[in-house]
Amino acid sequence: MKRIITLLFLALFVTVAIGQQPQGIIMKASVAPEINGELDEVWEEAIVYNIDQPYRAEVPTLGEPGETTWRALWNEDGMFIFLVVNDDEWYPSYVSGGNSWEYDKPEIYFDVNYVLADGLGAMHGQGHYQVAPGAAQATIDGTAITESSGVIYAFKVADPAYTVEYFIPWSLLKDKDGVEFDKAGVMGFDVTIIDRDQGDEGRRRAVWANIGEVDESWSNMDDVGLITFDGAEAPVYVEKITLTGGSITENGQTLQIVAVVEPEDATNKRLRWSVENKTGRATINQEGLLTPVLDGVVTVVADATDGSYERAEVDVEISGQIPDMWKLNVIRNGLFDQDDGPPIGWGGWIDTGYGDPHTVVNKVAVLNATLAAEEYWRYQFNQEHLTALPDIPYIFSFVAWASVNRPITVDFEDIPGNEHNRYGSSPDPESDGRSEWNFDITTEPTKYTFHVTFDEIQPNTVQKVQYMISQAVGTVYLDSIMLISEADLALVPVNVPKVGLSTFNVYPNPASDYLNVVLDSPDQTVAIYNTLGVKVDEVRVSGSAHIFNVSALPRGMYFIRSENSVVKFIKR
């Protein structure tokens, strides 16, 4: 019933809006275009739309009407979008050294809510999206770039004109309730082309639809255009979900929750999994695999993502668990226990020219700032969608060091729509009373511990922890990031290591020929790395001590890593 009422309301809204906003029709692709910035033959199936409306009083120089355009196609995987930009001067952020959003590039906007006129924009999320990657000098030849969201894009620059091609997966386009977009419905959509020539004092923009009578689409998308998808059939909605659970009786044992979705021919059978912690606690992944944390009862919830609002629940009883602080940790992948590469579960923002992409090397997060600025936020490393509880005290700790002594900032901050509010309070001297800490780190791996109570969580808060390092040049290393409530920390048995940097002894330090390592616990793998993160030696220590021969190593600083700590030593 809820679905029917929503569709009726939508039909009424679209009837009112049709006379006010430009409309586009997206044709279904016979084959998927190759994302390379070139107009494949399949693009002849798409309808071409002009991007020729100036945003407010701005006057871009993007050719005559019909010379800067967009077109789109769709298939069951997602949308394909192709932009042709007839610029008179190619001036991107990598040339200017400025913010990418102020120089030549496109911005694409999507509103996939059923009620489109809600006063919100891409900055608010909640069913509103902006896709706006900037060009990189090394990949303006049509090289396809894949983002963690599944978006694929390619710039093809024939200076000064350029093309950009995109693939946008349907899995990205979910409304404020987490429901995937219904292709038989109406989507809010717009394209903005940012134009700036050398000598201009600011950006000048052209748009398809939103000329800014209310605000730009970043802030308010009510005036974007409307698009529909030709050939999209009304979906077959989920009518019933049945879950089969069980119980967990051994420490660390997992349980696969089995779901049966009816009818069998439902168009979208994907489920969104969650856990309601009652007397127990657990986590669940999006394949329905339940991992226990604390003894007791939890309720596993599976929600349909097709807009039918069908839901199923099953209780699972958990016993036999030994509380583990890393399972109780609010931060995901705080140990960076993964293969080298982009940090899983982490993201961030780096303004053009201010640093290299963050990565994981030997289970340590590496953040390299290459340009200093007064604004510490130009290099950000963050994790969103934390699940800390309001109004209870937490311990926030991590291990940090750097290639040179330098300042660093870390905070817990809210979404732009809530004015980036630091939504926690802290008594620490490194803070100003709120959940932002400014302090110095050194070349020595050190454990930092702060205290925070999240006293200003709002209903629409998206909890985020964020490291910001652009106030100085130098590589920052992070490890063992933990956010745990004081109550949960007290549950960890006294004989289990708690929050902090476990350490071990190395001597002599500095060392010339031999380095003695005495571990805090036996049977560990110990490795030596240089400052570039290259492993130069490794051994499995069966006992609790080992002697490394370091005589052949070049002079300089090195790091020894055990399975739970890092120690620096100097080779002379």
Structural domains in the chain, sorted by start:
2-229 (2.60.40.1190), 240-321 (2.60.40.60), 347-491 (2.60.120.260), 505-571 (2.60.40.3080)
Which two tokens mark 300?
């596993």
The helix (run of H) or strand (run of E) holding residue 327 is: helix 325-328
For the stretch 283-289, contacts whose Cβ atoms lie closer than 8 Å and that sit 24 or more positions apart, written own/partner, are 283/327, 284/257, 287/256, 288/256, 288/257, 288/258, 288/259, 289/254, 289/255, 289/256, 289/257
Q: What is the pLDDT of residue 509?
A: 86
pLDDT of res. 391 = 97
C-alpha–C-alpha distance, residues 424 and 435, integer Å: 5
* Residue 48: predicted pLDDT: 98
Decide: 318 and 247 in contact? Cβ < 8 Å. Answer: yes
Backbone φ and ψ for 167, nearest 5 degrees, come out as -120, 130
CB within 8 Å of 376: residues ≥ 6 apart: 409, 468, 469, 470, 471
| Helix ranges, 412-485 (H) | none
Is the separation of the CB atoms in 388 and 329 below 8 Å? Answer: no
CA dist 360 and 331 (Å) reads 16
Roughly how many angstroms between the first and final C-alpha of the chain, as a whole number?
76
534 Cβ neighbours under 8 A, 6+ residues apart:
none
Closest CA to 92 of 163, 193, 217, 195: 195
* Residues of the chain below pLDDT 50: 1-19
Cα separation, 158 vs 84, in Å, equals 11
pLDDT value at position 503?
Answer: 65
